[in-house]
Amino acid sequence: MLSAIGLYLFLGSARGAELNGQLMLATTDRPDLIQDVAITLYEATEFAPVALATTRTGSDGLFSLETGRATSDSILFLSATVSDQVRLVSILGETLPHFATINEVTSVAASYAMAQFLRSGQIAGDAFRLRIAAMMGTNIANPVTGEISAVLSAPPNADQTNSLRLTRSLANLLNLCAVSPSYAKALLPLLTDERGQVPADTAIGLANLARNPAVDPELIYLLSSLRQGYVPALSQAPDQWSVTVKLNDTGRADIPFGGAANVDWDSYGYAWVANNVTQGTPNSTKYNVVLRPDGKPADGTGGEPVSPFDSGGLLGVGWGVSVDQKDRVWYGNFGWGSPKDLYYPSQTPGSPSGAGTGSVSTFDAADGSPLSEVGYFGPYRVQAIEPDDWGNIWMASLGDTDVDGGSGVWVFRDGNPDDSVSAVVDWEDAPFGVAPIPGQAAAWVTFSGGLAGEHQSSIAKYALTDTGELKQSFIAPVGDTLKVVATDFAGNAWFASQGTDSVFAYSPDGEQLGEFGGGGIDGPWGVTVDGEGNVWVANFGDLAIGNVFDRGRLSKLCGANPAACPPGLKLGDPISPETGYTLPSEGAPVLLSNGDPLYGPGAPPSFAPMMRQTSVQIDAAGNVWTINNWKPRFDVDILSNPGGDGIVIFVGLATPPPRSH
């Protein structure tokens, strides 16, 4: 069968709008299953997909079809109904390839990448979102060869995580259903959707599993192990069935990730990453990272940005990165490390004492060009930086004992650094998180009490007045070491209290709605709200001598929309399992992008691909990006080597938020 693929590859790309391909199954004992099977080429739309061409396979599974469409503004995909309840799919993307394969692996990739767009039983949705989902799908399977992708097969994935083998196990599960239809009848009732509906076929069922991956892991594993068409597969049941993609390529091997902290997306779907330190040191990096929607580094092709980049006055960006409605990318320069390592000379005009720690940098997302030469001075050690609906840029200025009046809340009105307003607070308050309130020129702000919670934490609300002043309208002491705050559709504030292992929620008028834990929450740091109003939490673990946080996890809580919570759950109840959503190793030590061990040459190995995390964000296709900010071993990291390795993406796991660009 591979020789047939090779022949078509040799002959070159398809002429005009002709597509050749092959339906394949891992099993060799039932050739009849791939013979005379209907193959349909579809174009996805916002509603029902449009059938462009249909044909049937030959005795060897080969097929050829002709269509008037070789490209799409949305995506093209192939569907094959092997039996009543077994449907295999291959996502082709925007352009017909020269050859296409449909098999169990391409179908796993399709169901997971399209999980948020298969809720109706058909692939449908916004074209921009579908294109991003298709790009992410190529990180799981190659639609031309039908093989597991090179991304999933190589470091930092391969056996450094369990997703390669987990994908094979899911493919074996589909093979079992194809060969023995009675197993499909047994499997599908396990894979119900959010309304409790049994899926009509395996493509819909695996999409349901992608959105709710903690369903019956032991039983599903048992079924998957009955067939061994794809090996090596999992050797034991996972705690849940998420397919993840880990990435750690910045675009330059000599500049690996050093404590990525947060990410936001521009209108093109590119991911702009805040990067803290030079890998293996506690000192500031001058380099930040920009990734394509599939996580690959941008390299300047077609005028796109180039990653990594060090212009615009960047220096030790902290948590703060955001993209505004004008596609300007904003970074807050925290300036880690000793003064001798700082980018700015102390005589830089306008810079505060301890030069380099008091600026904001901004870039044009279209090509990555800096809009500031050395940064905009004023706010000191910015953490969160966020635009509101009116284009005002809100910032939390963490402050310092050495800077008089540096700590507070800052706003660049209409995104203009020359038209700023601030509200000064005591430096002990240490503002950290900012979340603009939808439809208002106002924001929730967390006062952390210091990065390690040395002082009392508080939640506050600020508003821009008609006279242009910045006024505090509410404040309440709460929690311990507050970090990120996010708002939901109702204007409620959800914020992480690291020191109490909990998340708090406050109503718009300042009423505490509750304190919530469970679902794997442990030292929470990052918080975001999905398109249904449910709340996602990134966990940093305990800040304590001797702590080794080698079981990184992602947590999910019920939000303020009761219809989006599973039956029987209410506001704040955990949706994720008690372990959280995890990413274990499959036995290979974690390596940096240059091939060094996580803690450097000669260091003991680490087997924790998911580390201490400071951020969780959801892209336009529902892929959940969780950010490895620190390494697992606190005793080492606090002194010399904190910068975590890369980003973990849970494919298709969350409802996409509304588009803001």
Identify the pLDDT of residue 15.
44
| Averaged pLDDT for residues 199-204 | 98
How far is it, in rounded angstroms, from Cα 628 to Cα 646? 6
**Is pLDDT of 90 > 90?**
yes
Whose tokens are 């970090």? That residue is: 483
Q: pLDDT-derived band of residue 508, with 50, 70 and 90 as boundaries?
A: very high
How far is it, in rounded angstroms, from Cα 20 to Cα 77? 13
**Is pLDDT of 386 > 90?**
yes
As given in the structure block, the two tokens for residue 328 are: 């300007």
Is the pTM above the cut of 0.85?
Answer: yes
How far is it, in rounded angstroms, from Cα 603 to Cα 605? 6
| Averaged pLDDT for residues 490-511 | 97
Q: pLDDT-derived band of residue 375, with 50, 70 and 90 as boundaries?
A: confident
Residues 6+ apart with CB under 8 A from 488: 494, 529, 533, 535, 559, 560
**Is pLDDT of 7 > 60?**
no
Identify the pLDDT of residue 359.
87
How far is it, in rounded angstroms, from Cα 619 to Cα 650? 11
Cβ atoms of 68 and 17 within 8 Å: the answer is yes
Identify the pLDDT of residue 604.
94
**Is pLDDT of 183 > 70?**
yes
Q: Quote the percentage of the chain above a pLDDT of 70.
A: 93
Query: How many other CB atoms sit within 10 Å of the CB of residue 536?
Result: 27
For 391-430, the pLDDT digits (tens) are 999 999 987 655 544 689 999 999 999 999 999 898 889 9
Identify the pLDDT of residue 543.
87
Alpha carbon 536 to chain centroid, angstroms? 11
Cβ atoms of 402 and 410 within 8 Å: the answer is no
For 28-84, the pLDDT digits (tens) are 778 899 999 999 999 999 999 999 999 999 999 999 999 988 999 999 999 999 999
Hey, where are the domains in the chain?
17-139, 162-244, 247-650
Say which CATH topology domain 17-139 has: Immunoglobulin-like (2.60.40)
| Averaged pLDDT for residues 584-592 | 97
Q: Is the peptide bond before 213 cis (omega within 30 degrees of 0)?
A: no
- List alpha helices for 14-156, DSSP H: 104-113, 127-137, 150-153
Cβ atoms of 158 and 164 within 8 Å: the answer is yes
What CATH homologous superfamily does 247-650 map to? YVTN repeat-like/Quinoprotein amine dehydrogenase (2.130.10.10)
Identify the pLDDT of residue 106.
98
Closest CA to 279 of 37, 601, 524, 502: 601
**Is pLDDT of 390 > 70?**
yes
| Averaged pLDDT for residues 482-486 | 98
For 276-309, the pLDDT digits (tens) are 999 999 888 999 999 999 999 999 999 999 999 9
Cβ atoms of 355 and 344 within 8 Å: the answer is yes
| Averaged pLDDT for residues 243-255 | 97
How far is it, in rounded angstroms, from Cα 459 to Cα 477? 6
How far is it, in rounded angstroms, from Cα 155 to Cα 593? 8
As given in the structure block, the two tokens for residue 125 are: 């949705």
* DSSP bridge partners of 323: 329
**Is pLDDT of 258 > 80?**
yes
Q: pLDDT-derived band of residue 1, with 50, 70 and 90 as boundaries?
A: very low
Identify the pLDDT of residue 401.
52
Identify the pLDDT of residue 407.
84
Closest CA to 195 of 89, 107, 113, 121: 121
Identify the pLDDT of residue 354.
43
**Is pLDDT of 340 > 60?**
no
Q: Which bin fits 71, alpha (ψ -120 to 50), beta or left (φ > 0)?
A: beta
Identify the pLDDT of residue 403.
52
For 542-560, the pLDDT digits (tens) are 988 999 999 999 999 999 9
Task: Say which amino acid occupies 56.
Answer: R
Closest CA to 494 of 453, 528, 532, 517: 528
**Is pLDDT of 451 > 90?**
no
Q: Quote the percentage of the chain above a pLDDT of 90.
A: 85
What SS3 class is residue 559? coil
* DSSP bridge partners of 626: 616, 648
Q: What are phi and psi of 378, to 5 degrees?
A: 140, -80
Identify the pLDDT of residue 400.
61
- Give me the chain's average pLDDT, please: 92
List Cβ<8 Å contacts ≥24 apart for 447-451: 447/475, 447/482, 448/398, 448/481, 448/482, 448/483, 449/480, 449/481, 449/482, 450/481, 451/398, 451/481
Identify the pLDDT of residue 113.
98
Q: pLDDT-derived band of residue 355, with 50, 70 and 90 as boundaries?
A: very low
